[in-house]
Amino acid sequence: MRKNVIVGQSGGASAVFNATLAGVYHMADDLQTNVYGMMNGLQGLLEDKIVNLGDYIRNQYDLEVLRNTPGAFLGSCRYTLPDYNEQPEVYNRIFDVLRKHDISSFYYIGGLESLKTLSKLCTYAKLIGCDDIRFIGIPKTIDNDIPLTDHTPGFASAAKYVATSVKELIRDSSIYGRDFVTVVEVMGRDTGWLTAATTLCKGSDCSGPDLIYLPEKVFDPEKALEDIARVRKNKKSVIVCIGEGCKLADGRYLCDVDESNSFTEDASGKRLLTGASRVFARMIHDRFNCRVRAVEFSALQRSACHMASKTDNDEAFTIGENAVKASNLKHTGEIVIINRVSNDPYQIRISVKDIKGVFNESKSVPTEWILDDNSGMTEEFEQYARPLIQGSVVTHYKDGLPLHMPYIIF
């Protein structure tokens, strides 16, 4: 009889969220395992909303299309598991459902919060002496803020998208040869990895962003305006990239300087940190009385499968496959991670680590990698990030547009 395993997706989307799902399916299917998917992560599992992935992924072509479909094929959630001594019934319910479907392995693809939730489940499993279900976490985030792993699937595709788009915006903003400041807002609530990635467009054919502001450093409006004044002396079209999570010295988010920014929310109900670029653009306009424009990449940067990094997509797929290998080797309570072996040639090794480690470290951009005058990143960042954005995915087109996997009708 075939074994049963289950996989879920949790947290915000990335361009390779489904590539990891495809990797899990591919390896598990190869091993003659039934692969169930929980709809909307643990939230769906609690309601026994479960599909058989084999009903949807019928052949290699489906698998390829799934790898390049944005969003979360199984749906996602922002569900935080309560502590088990407070609500044991939730844990009982989860294990009842897992037993009902005779699940031997549980894979959860998610960001930092989702992995923390999975960690609670692992701890509980150990507590009740459950050793016949293995729990494996698979990192995913565009923010690149997950510790233990060299980098996280999802980051590089978003990085490639923002670097490409900034490069295109730089061209757009310079055509009139007139004074102009463009402020580009990039995602990253607590970390500036993605904002830093905009500097990757700097090269022989592009001057790159002139100034970058990462959440890792306090945003001082007065100093930032001095930076602008300095750059404007020698350059007509100025490009500033700013992290959405930049904070003032008093701890407030920059976007909160304008209260009218506070009404927008994520689909999960999480408040959107949107507006930093508008706030800063207005400050620049008020100070210099110059032309300004604010550009937000918004959800585009985490959904742009059409501009995904092949390296990222391949790694996301492989990390999914390796989760299945790990559980087959009787690992549990661990996450799959990427170790970097070398930059040039770029080589990685996939391994696993105790999931509890995600609580112990933080994964901010090292502030010594940010140039003191905010004009860019050091060579260390270049060496870290450049290999990750290499290669383009092969997008399947239909009727002139990228083809996506049809939705699951549940």
- Which DSSP string do the residues of 305-328 spell out, in sequence order? GGG-BHHHHHHHHHHHHHHHHHHH
Q: Which of residues 14-53 bind a copy of itself (CB under 8 A)?
A: 39-40
Per rule CB under 8 A, is residue 282 in the interface with a copy of itself?
yes
Q: Is 174 in the site for a copy of itself (CB under 8 A)?
A: yes
3-state SS record for 62-119: HHHHHHCCCCCCCCCCCCCCCCCCCCHHHHHHHHHHHHHCCEEEEEEEECHHHHHHHH
Nearer to a copy of itself, 126 or 271 (CB): 271
Give the tokens for residue 5. Answer: 């395993």
Q: How far is the CB of 266 from a copy of itself (least distance, A)?
A: 7
Q: Is 143 a known active-site residue? A: yes
Is residue 260 part of the contact set for a copy of itself (CB under 8 A)? yes
Q: Which of residues 149-168 bind a copy of itself (CB under 8 A)?
A: 160, 163-165, 167-168
Residue 125 or 272 with smaller CB distance to a copy of itself = 272
Which of 149, 173, 195, 318 is the binder for a copy of itself (CB under 8 A)?
173
Site for a copy of itself in 291-320 (CB under 8 A): 291-296, 298-300, 302-307, 309
Residues 6+ apart with CB under 8 A from 217: 367, 370
Q: Residue 345: is the preceding peptide bond cis (ω within 30°)?
A: yes
Determine which residue in the list 127, 218, 229, 267 makes contact with a copy of itself, applying CB under 8 A: 267
Q: How far is CA 86 from the centre of its chain?
A: 31
d(CA 21, CA 114): 15
Q: Give the interface segment with a copy of itself, choosing from 25-33, 169-177, 248-256, 356-364 (CB under 8 A).
A: 169-177
Chain residues 336-365 in contact with a copy of itself, contact rule CB under 8 A: none
Sign for the pseudo-dihedral over CA of 77, 83, 84, 90: negative
* Residues in 206-235 at the binding interface with a copy of itself, rule: CB under 8 A: 206
How many residues in the chain?
410
Check residue 404 for interaction with a copy of itself (CB under 8 A): yes
Catalytic annotation, residues: 143
